[in-house]
Amino acid sequence: MSDLTFSTVRKTFGQNVALEGLDLEVRDGELISLLGPSGCGKTTALRIAAGFERADSGRVMVAGNDITNQPPHKRNMGMVFQSYSLFPNLTVAGNVEYGLRTRGISKPERQRRVTEMLELVQLGPMANRYAHQISGGQQQRVALARALAIRPQVLLLDEPLSALDAKVRATLRDEIRRIQTELGITTLFVTHDQEEALAISDRVGVMSNGHLEQLGEPTEVYRHPSSAFVARFVGSMNELPAFVRGPDAVAIGDYVVATPAVGMREVGAPVLFLVRPEDMSLGASDAKGLPGSVTARTFQGAATIVSVRLDGSDTLVSVHVAGSAAAHLAPGDRVNVVMDGTRGVCEAGVAA
Amino acid sequence: MALVTGTSTPPPVEFPRSAPQAPPRRGRRFGRLGPNIVLIAFAIFFIAPLVSMTRFALQKVPMPLLHWDTIFDRWSLSALTDAFKEPSFGKTLLLSLRLAVGTVVVTLALLLPTALFVHLKLPKARPIVEFLTVLPYVVPPIALVAGVAAFFRPNARWFLNSNYSLIPFYVVMALPFTYRSLDAGIKAIDVRTLVDASRSLGATWPSTLRRVLLPNLSSSIVSSAFLTTAVVLGEFTIARTLSKQTFPVFSFDYFGRKAQGGIALALFTLVGSTALLGFFTLLTRGKARRRQVNRF
């Protein structure tokens, strides 16, 4: 067992609160992504786990052992950094071997593990090269091999893909997940890229202003965001001024949408109703819905994004239309926007 | 359908086949002339005194006769070899070299941890440290030595009696050069990430310094050591004021007695320092090249 636990961890930098009592448990063999905008505290949490920052209060535990006050070199954690971190004076093999040397492991065992790790990241033939002789993606794979060579209890990934181009990023992302699953290593992954987080995580933690807004499986976080912040940060959202029509319904103009998101709000209260583009569809101009005019159409392969300006307001909504159903639409065409409010989110708004 | 057609692979962008047009000739000619004039001016500025110095030191021709037509006449190393035969030459040179080694060791022992600490833990203090390191530029050596000597003479005379009391002065004198050299080396690598990576892999601070930082800062450490050596081999005021017989003091005294020999010694110091710089540069470059060769 090597689960990683944060218990009410708080950290401030001067007047800025980086972590406001973080509680998080990364279960044994699980990959949790901490997702959030810059300054939300996700990297601070990771650096506290690694021992590079000291928490003001709270505890960090690995496999039930309190490591809060342990220096980084005594924690058995592998880390891959955002910037390229290979030691320029060492070859690829030398880098992977580094952590094994510091642990006083015998030479034959070191060589065996270096070979094993380089094969794991498919870089065996690059063993004698130096960092500047391999690509950015390869450097990060070596960094991953180096972090894993020491057989850490926990793997910490600090935005390891952000410096790479899109194609390499996607490939390496899948490779990280494959290796993580293969080794069953407890992993904390920090990213600001929602697509990355949703793609490879067992659970995603969305952070804002030093606290965890929501922690859940990727589908749950995407489908049932617990707050307007999470809804906006994970995926895209249409925002419509509305008012509460009843305990289970909001009205956008005359169009009533059934939704469980009203909560305890009073009837008539103004709200901002958030709906994902894929929960909207286009009906004929005489159907029930919100009438508007098509302003643009963007073909994206599997789906088309249609932008519609709603009548009587400046509100612009995006509607995902699957397949080629929207192929006939042209700017200026009249449509009716229909929506499914079951996964919508309400936020206090001002009267329209 | 038109939409689908629109998303098919776009035709490759055609680039013009002809070579890009050459810039106007007049501009190019002017462009070459400018830098050449600057280059020639700099060459004259640097080379003329060196040539004059060499001729004065190594030609057995009276100074008023050192014209173009005597440029190949009576070249001899005797002024230099005579200087080498002086009993104080070896002694003072050895002392200066010892002082140089001592100064390099103390400078690196003080400045490397300071520069690393400032980069890693106190980045806000960087402007202050940079300001402090340029102070020797504005405090004249004579003021420095007078102040320090006035303090140490009544309190710790033994300190000033030792030849090695010059080391702290030289450390201060070399600060503007050495700190900048180390600082540039540290800026060139991502020290924070390398240190974090090393620490996360189980290395202690001393181990990180030995295995990661020193190898990756070797060039700046070498150039810092060279600059320090150059300062020590050229410093006169402090050594003279404290009555120490260092190599520059000997050179100056010798110049008073034998002008040609003194200049020959200055030339010797200059050539020696340059050779040292060349040697270190080749050493670090050779190391880098060997590394590249080994990779394939």
Mapping DSSP onto H, E and C, the string for A183-196 reads HCCEEEEEECCHHH
**CB-based contact A98:B211 (threshold 8 Å):** yes
Give the Å distances, CA to CA, from B154 to A337, B150, B157: 94, 7, 6
> Which residue reads 């961890």 in tokens?
A9
DSSP alpha helices (H): ranges in chain A? 42-50, 92-102, 107-120, 136-149, 166-183, 194-200, 218-223, 228-233
Q: What is the pLDDT of residue B19?
A: 43
Least confident of A15-19, A106-110, A196-200, A286-290: A286-290
Average pLDDT over every residue of B39-47: 88
CA distance A161 to A165: 8
Crossing angle of helices A136-149 and A166-183, in 10° steps, is 20
pLDDT at A262: 84
The alpha carbon of B192 is separated from its chain's Cα centroid by a whole number of angstroms, namely: 26
Average pLDDT of span A44-49:
95
Model confidence band, residue B20 (pLDDT cutoffs 50, 70, 90): very low
User: Beta-carbon neighbour count of residue A152 at 10 Å?
Assistant: 24
Chain B residues with beta carbon closer than 8 angstroms to that of A91: 295
Distance from CA of B277 to the nearest CA of A (A): 22
- In this predicted structure, the answer to whether residue B280 has a pLDDT above a threshold of 80 is no
Average confidence (pLDDT) over B74-94: 88
**pLDDT band, very low/low/confident/very high, at B10 (cuts 50, 70, 90):** very low
Q: Is the pLDDT of residue A28 over 50?
A: yes
Evaluated on CA atoms A279, A285, A288, A290, the torsion sign reads positive
Residue B288 has pLDDT above 60, yes or no: no
Tens of pLDDT, residue by residue over A53-73, are 999 999 999 998 999 999 999
Distance from CA of A78 to the nearest CA of B (A): 6
Identify the weakest region by mean pLDDT among A117-126, A257-266, B58-67, B172-181.
B58-67
Q: Are A305 and A319 in contact (CB under 8 A)?
A: yes
Confidence of residue A152 (pLDDT cuts 50, 70, 90): very high
Mutation site for B-interface testing, chosen from A85, A110, A156, A329 by largest number of B Cβ within 10 Å = A85
Q: Which residues of A touch B (CB under 8 A)?
A: 50-52, 71-75, 77-79, 81, 83-85, 87-89, 91, 98-99, 102-103, 128-130, 133, 143, 146-147, 150, 156, 297, 299, 301, 304, 324, 327
For residue B204, the chain A residues in CB contact (below 8 A) are 73
* pLDDT-based confidence at residue B34 (cuts at 50, 70, 90): confident
Count of A-B CB contacts under 8 Å: 88
Q: Residue B17 to residues A215, B14, B22: CA-CA distances in angstroms?
A: 58, 9, 15
> How much is the pLDDT for B30?
58
- Residue A208 pLDDT level (bands cut at 50, 70, 90): very high
The residue type of A164 is: L
Q: What is the mean pLDDT of chain A?
A: 90
Taking the C-alpha atoms of residue B246 and residue B232, their distance in angstroms, rounded to an integer, is: 9
Give the type of residue at A129: R
Q: Which of B194, B198, B200 to mutate to test the interface with A (most CBs of A within 10 A)?
A: B200
Q: pLDDT: is A316 or A350 the higher one? A: A316
Q: Of the ranges A229-238, B8-17, B60-69, B124-133, which one carries the lowest mean pLDDT score?
A: B8-17
Mean pLDDT of all residues belonging to chain B: 82
Per-residue pLDDT of A157-174, as tens digits, reads 999 998 888 888 888 899
DSSP B206-230: HHHIIIIIHHHTHHHHHHHHHHHHH
- Interval A25-54 mean pLDDT: 94
Residue in chain B closest to A147 (alpha carbons) equals: B201
Lowest mean pLDDT among A105-109, A187-191, B70-74: B70-74
CA–CA min distance A142, chain B (Å): 13
Separation between Cα atoms, residue A99 and residue B203, nearest integer Å? 7
Q: Which DSSP letter does residue B75 get? A: B
Judged by average pLDDT, the poorest of A201-210, A343-352, B144-153 is A343-352
Which residues in chain A touch residue B295, judged by CB atoms under 8 angstroms apart? 91, 128-130, 133
What does R_g of chain A's alpha carbons equal in angstroms? Answer: 24
Q: Among A89, A100, A154, A188, pick the best mutation site for testing chain B contact (most B Cβ within 10 A).
A: A89
Side-chain half-sphere exposure of A7, counting CA atoms within 13 A: 11
Which residues on adjacent β-strands are paired with residue B89? none
Mean predicted confidence (pLDDT) in B190-200: 93
The helix (run of H) or strand (run of E) holding residue A349 is none
Q: Which helix (H) or strand (E) holds B7?
A: none
Neighboring chain B residues of A129 at a CB cutoff of 8 Å: 295
Do A98 and B198 lie within an 8 Å CB cutoff? Answer: yes
**pLDDT band (50, 70, 90) for residue A146:** very high
- Interface contact flag, B200 A78, Cβ < 8 Å: yes
Segment among A13-27, B137-151, B158-172, B174-188 with least mean pLDDT: B137-151
d(CA B292, CA B177): 30
DSSP for residue A267? T
Nearest by Cα to A23 from A63, A77, A60, A48: A60
Mean pLDDT of the region B62-75: 79
Question: Quick one: pLDDT at residue A110?
Answer: 94
Indicate whether this complex's ipTM tops 0.90: no
Specify the 3-state DSSP secondary structure of A78. Answer: strand
Task: Provide the edge-to-edge strand list for the sheet that holds A290-299.
Answer: A280-283, A334-339, A290-299, A303-310, A316-322
Q: Quick one: pLDDT at residue B168?
A: 92
Distance separating alpha carbons of residues A83 and A161, to the nearest angstrom? 9
Confidence grade of residue A1 (pLDDT, cut at 50, 70, 90)? low
Q: 0.80 exceeded by the pTM?
A: no
Section A124-134 average pLDDT: 91
More confident call, B22 vs A310: A310
Which chain B residues contact residue A301 at CB under 8 A?
Answer: 7
Mean pLDDT of B67-78: 81
Averaged pLDDT for residues A14-40: 92
Contact A150 B216 (CB under 8 A): no
CB contact residues (below 8 A), chain B span 19-78, against chain A: none
CA distances from B188 to A160, A201, B132, B184, B197 (A): 21, 36, 22, 6, 17
Q: Please list, residue by residue across B68-86, b when 16 or more beta carbons sit within 10 angstroms of its beta carbon and e when fewer do.
A: eeeeeeeeeeebbeebeeb
